[in-house]
Structure formats: C-alpha cells, structure tokens
Amino acid sequence: MDTTLQDPLVGQVLDGRYRVEARIAVGGMATVYRAVDTRLDRVLALKVMHQALAADGAFVERFIREAKSVARLAHPNVVQVFDQGTDGSYVYLAMEYIAGCTLRDVVRERGALQPRAALDILEPVLAALGAAHRAGFVHRDMKPENVLIGDDGRVKVADFGLVRSVDTVTSTTGSVLGTAAYLAPEQIERGAADPRVDVYACGVMLFEMLTGGKPHFGDSPAQILYKHVHEDVPPPSAEVPGMAYALDELVASATARIPEIRPYDAVALLAQVREARAGLTDAQLDAVPPQATAADHDNAEDRTSVIPRSLTVPRPLPVNEDEDRHTSRLASPAPLPPRRRSLPRRGVVSIVAAVLLVLGLGAGVWYINSGQFTKVPLVLEKTEEQARDRLSDAGLEVGEVKRAYSDTVKRGLVIGTDPAPGARIRDNDSVTLTVSRGPEVVRVPALRGEPLDEARRALKREGLEPGMVTREFSDEVPKGAVLRTDPEGGVERHAGSAIALVVSKGSPVDVPDVVGDDLEDARAQLLEAGLKVKVASAQIHSEYDKGQVALQSPDSGGQAAEGDTVTLTLSKGPVMVEVPDVVGDSVDDAHDKLEGAGFEVDEDRGILGLFGDTVKSQSVEGGDTAPKGSTITIEIR
C-alpha cells in the first residue's frame, strides 16, 4: 500500500511555492518529500522537520544551521540546499533532488561490495567531508543513509542536520545526538566532536561495505555504544578471508579508538585511501566477496536519535593500568554481552608505536611517569566556580579564563577547556577555561543611502550576512543605494543572521511608445526620457515599413529606472503574399480564399449590391502581391 496517501502533506503546497508530490523517506528528525518548485518549475527534495521537534527552539536552530552551513559548501559531492523557510508549524529545507538510492539500499540489497566499488563510493564521500572539514564544519552523523548514489553514478553526502563548527561545543545536557552504530568513542564518552568523528564513521562504513555488516551488534543501544568504547573494529578480513591487508589497515586507521591516532580529517583519510588503492592489484580490487543471506534490517537502529546520556556517560572505576586509559565502562540497564571477537590489530599497534617513538615515549618511560599525570576532568556546561572546584580536586590549576559567544550554552557556563576534557596533563599544570557569554547579539547597522557593495561590507564587519537583494523605485535614494533593510537598522539579531537589502532603482521613468517610429526618432525620444537604447541584431517582419520599430522591451506604458536600457527590434517590412483571384466567386468563397491567404476582407456592396452574392471586382488584382495582414476590398453586385 502506498503510505504516502496517508501523509497529510502530500498534495499540499508549502509556503505558497512547493507542491508536495510524494514521501521519499522518514528519519529520526524529519521527513523527506519529492516536491515541485512551482515558481521555477523544477523537481526538488523537501525536508520537513517533525512537528513535535519544530516546537523545540534548539532543534529548529540546528535545522536552520544545516541550510546555512551547506549553502557555504560549493562542492559537487554535497547535496545543494536551495531554500529554507517555515509555513505555519512546518519548518522545511528545499534541497537538490537526487534520483537514485542510498548506500544503505545498496548494502541491504547486495551485501558486501567488491573493494573497488567500496573505494569508488568512499572517495567522493571523503572529498565532500574534506571540503566541510577545511571550511570548519563537522557532519557528526555520517552513515549509509546519508550517502546518496544517483542514477547517473554521482555520489553525494546529504543531511548536514547535525553539522557544527569545529570549535563549537557539541555535548548536550542529558543526551547525545547521533546514530549509535557510527558514533566515535569520544562522542559517546564526552560528547566531543571534531573532524575525526566523521573519519571514524567513514571507517565503520568502509567495514560495512567490505563485509556487508556492521562491526558491532547488540540487543540495545547501550551494548553497541559499550563496544565502540571498549572494542576495536575488527579487520574486514576476519569476515572476508583473503581480503587485502591494506584494506584492514585503512579500517584500523580510520576507526582507532584513540582519536589522536586517526587521520586528523577526511582529507588526510582520502590521501590514505588513494595510497592504499594504488598499492592494490586489479585482482585484489575486483575480488568478489562471499555473499551470505541478508539478515532482516531494522531501520530504527540507523536513525538519527537522541540517545540518553544514561546509556553513554561513563561511571567511575578504580584505576587499572592494564585497562585502556582513554575509555571507561558505560552504565547499562541490561547485562552486557561478551566481546564478539578478539582480533589482532597490527595496524593500530604499529601506528601507536610510531606515535610513541616520535614523542620519545618508550613503554618504560610511560610507566615511570604515569604517576605524574592526570586527565583533565569534564567541566563543560558547568559554572566557572564548579569548574574551578573540579579542576582543584583533580590537582590542577585554573589558568586564563576566556569569554566567547555561544548560541547553545547559557551565559556563565564553560564551553571549552585547553587542554580538552580527557586529555593527559601533568599534575599541578594549569587549564584554560572558556566561558560562554551567551548568544552573540548584533545590532543591524543603519544602511539607508549606502551603496550596495559598501552596505554588504558593513554587514560583514558587524558579524552579519548580506541576504536577498530586491529593488524598488525611489525618488529620494539614488540608484544603487540601499533603500531599507529587513530587519531595519537598530534591531538586534544573532551574529551570522542574514539581512535582506532593498536597493533603490532610482526615480521611475515612463517608457514612451516608439513602436512604428523610425529608428532615429525612437532613439531621440528614449534618450530624452533618460533611457538607454539597444537595437536587437535580429529583425522581424511586421506591418511596419522596413527600418521602423516593430517591437520594444519594456513595452510602453510601464516604468523603468533612469539609465535602464530599452531594446528595439526593427521591422523587415511586411511579408508580401500573392492575392487570390476571387472575381466571380460567391462572397463566402471569396472570404475563405482571401482570409486563408492571410488577408483581412472588407465588402463594398453599395446600393446595387445589398442583395447580391457575387464578387464583381477586388481592390488588388488576383496574382499581384500585397502585405500579409493588409485589407482587400471586394465589390459585390
């Protein structure tokens, strides 16, 4: 049964512009529809936030941030965002429509992919994420559902709904936002998110493409999250014997549980992928993996969701030097299953060894100095006083206290530390705190009368973004200068808000009627009215003589701005058509012949022809030519 028929939005027109035609997909935060932009007559995807979330200001802000963030990413592998708006209780994004499927559809249908196909998909994904990372953004919710594969083979990354700036705190009180199967350990433990969380998720996706299944399973989100923190992602060759060791190394590098060991962003991972591919033979790239019977797939586990912190916040344990110092156990309402497998991770071990060697830290040196180090405690979203107390209890000092604006953390609460939470630091060292000033509010500058370019620069200096530009006539403000802004000058807005600009077109000028005039006469009239003249290169046949004006654009009777251009199309003269001979014909037959040839017909009956029905003569003799559309008079007797 077509469930879209039950959707109340299908068949509706949002915001007076977007006609919703069908439901494409339903996610954890929004529903995606295929729609038509009735203004531009193009098919697009309409992402509409669930109404329950639309009432939450924080979610709406995050939703709108997606539009602004993605709009800055001009990359062929990023789904383009066209528009954002609201209609009553509906909050929506209008996006590029990609006819095709998702990577989830491919893996569900085909299972494990050949290495060449997996890398062909992964590379454009990393290129898109690399552009985002270098622009200062983190996706935070990479998964196969957000990788679109077009019918033409194009690969695009979608759903930047959780995108955040690299330097923005991403932890949330009481919850973590994301998809459990692809969360990095540091997201689970601390809510931290830098480009390396996207790298981790891409490593999990690569494992899934190469093996047909996820690396960690569990009966609950808590069990899956526990495994991400405490268990390495196994090498793909454990599931697909004979797979190239270089692919195991790629997965190991991208999914290292210690974030410092991973590639620092998608650009770095892309370089590793290309290097690994170059070292593989055609036989290794085209190896056909064994296909097992696909298990039932639960869509719910792959949806972006709000995961309670009770499932992710570590509880304190006694220090054990044999246990990974970068992880801690997760509270779980149910007993946790044993590890699925314990497999050697040659890639991670070699990378760790290299890092230790570079730092000059042998295992013995670490053991001797371990008692002189501690970890920076988690103080995010604590008051400055609470943060000082926690740092003091950990044997650390508070160094510099910085202040910064935040749209998500209340004024007076900590939004960052240097070193970061969980970082290893010497006892008695100092930690720099960054405390929220609250949302940054900017006053819209008064821009009336300012040239458009200067107005745009002034908005950027104030931390605002120039928005849509429209134009209106004005007798008071010079052409090209700002007439007003929306919102108007003096109103306060959050930093980064877009300000619409209305620019003057100058005083209106009545466009004179010059159709039928000679070119020079027409030019003189238009120049006298303050308008410029352009003569179209092509000419047309018309009722006017050759060289006279046949068309003008804009038409007469309208208004234009002083200095606007009026385009004139000149006549090639009328089309000359041979006149049919209708003498002796009945009146009706004469009409049919003459009108069929493109002429108008006028009857001259006189007194003697009032009751006659035969053509006695015609104003242009049959066989001669006359302008098409001209009038032929027939005399009736």
pLDDT digits (tens, 9 = 90+) for 498-549: 888 999 988 888 899 999 999 999 999 999 988 999 999 888 888 899 999 9
Q: Is the pTM of this model over 0.85?
A: no
Chain segment 565-618, per-residue pLDDT in tens: 999 999 998 889 999 999 999 999 999 999 999 999 999 887 766 778 899 999
Nearest in space to 523 (alpha carbons), one of 513, 511, 533? 533
pLDDT of residue 609: 63
pLDDT reported for residue 316: 34
CB 410 within 8 A of CB 368: no
The residue with tokens 């991972």 is 269
Residues 195, 202: Cα–Cα separation, whole Å: 11
Bridge-based pairing of strands 430-436 and 414-418 is antiparallel
Single out the catalytic residue among 141, 159, 248, 302: 141
What counts of helices (H) and strands (E) characterise the chain? 16, 33
What tokens appear for 566 in the block? 């009026």
Within 8 A by CB and 6+ apart from 353, the residues are: none
Characterize the bridge pairing of strands 465-472 and 498-504.
parallel
**Backbone phi, psi, residue 137, to 5°:** -120, 150
| Domains of the chain with CATH codes | 1-97 (3.30.200.20), 100-291+301-315+346-360 (1.10.510.10), 364-436 (3.30.10.20), 441-504 (3.30.10.20), 508-570 (3.30.10.20), 576-636 (3.30.10.20)
Under a CB-based contact definition with an 8 Å cutoff, are residues 180 and 221 in contact?
Answer: yes
**Backbone torsions φ then ψ of 567, nearest 5 degrees:** -95, 130
Residue 243 is predicted with a pLDDT of: 92
Amino acid identity of residue 536, one-letter, is A
pLDDT given for residue 283 in this prediction = 93
CB atoms within 10 A of CB 623: 9
pLDDT average, residue stretch 87-108: 89
Q: What do you get for the CA distance between the two ends of the chain, in Å?
A: 75
* CA atoms of 566 and 523, how far apart (whole Å): 10
- Is the model's pLDDT at 329 over the cut of 80? no
Nearest to 310 by CA among 226, 421, 399: 226
Structure tokens at 333: 């309402």
What digits encode the pLDDT tens for the residues 233-254?
999 999 999 999 999 999 999 9
Residues 6+ apart with CB under 8 A from 82: 37, 44, 94, 95, 96
Would you state the structure tokens that stand for residue 9, as one six-digit string? 């939005």
Q: Does the active-site annotation cover 105?
A: no
Q: What is the largest CA-CA distance in the chain?
A: 131
Q: In 51-112, where does DSSP find H-type helix?
A: 51-54, 57-71, 103-110
Angle between helices 195-211 and 115-134 in degrees, nearest 10: 170
Question: 3-class DSSP state for residue 306?
Answer: strand
The closest alpha carbon to 225, from 291, 311, 141, 285, belongs to 311
Q: Is 70 exceeded by the pLDDT of residue 334?
A: no
248-252, 349-353, 435-439, range with the lowest pLDDT: 349-353
**Mapping DSSP to helix (H, G, I), strand (E, B) and coil, where does residue 72 land?**
coil
pLDDT higher at 96 or 321:
96
* The residue type at 441: V
Distance between CA atoms of 633 and 619, rounded to whole angstroms? 5
How confident is the model over 57-68, as a mean pLDDT?
A: 71
Per-residue pLDDT, 301: 52
User: Residue 526 has what pLDDT?
Assistant: 93
Type of residue numbered 64: I
Return the CA Rg of the chain. 36
Q: Which residue has the higher pLDDT, 509 or 339?
A: 509
Considering only residues 384 and 189, tell me which one the structure prediction assigns the higher pLDDT: 384
- The token pair that represents 114 in the structure block: 């050949």
The two three-digit tokens of residue 82, written as one number: 């066209």
Say yes or no to pLDDT of 435 above 80.
yes
Dihedral of the CA atoms 259, 260, 261, 266 (nearest 10)?
70
Position 66 scores a pLDDT of 64
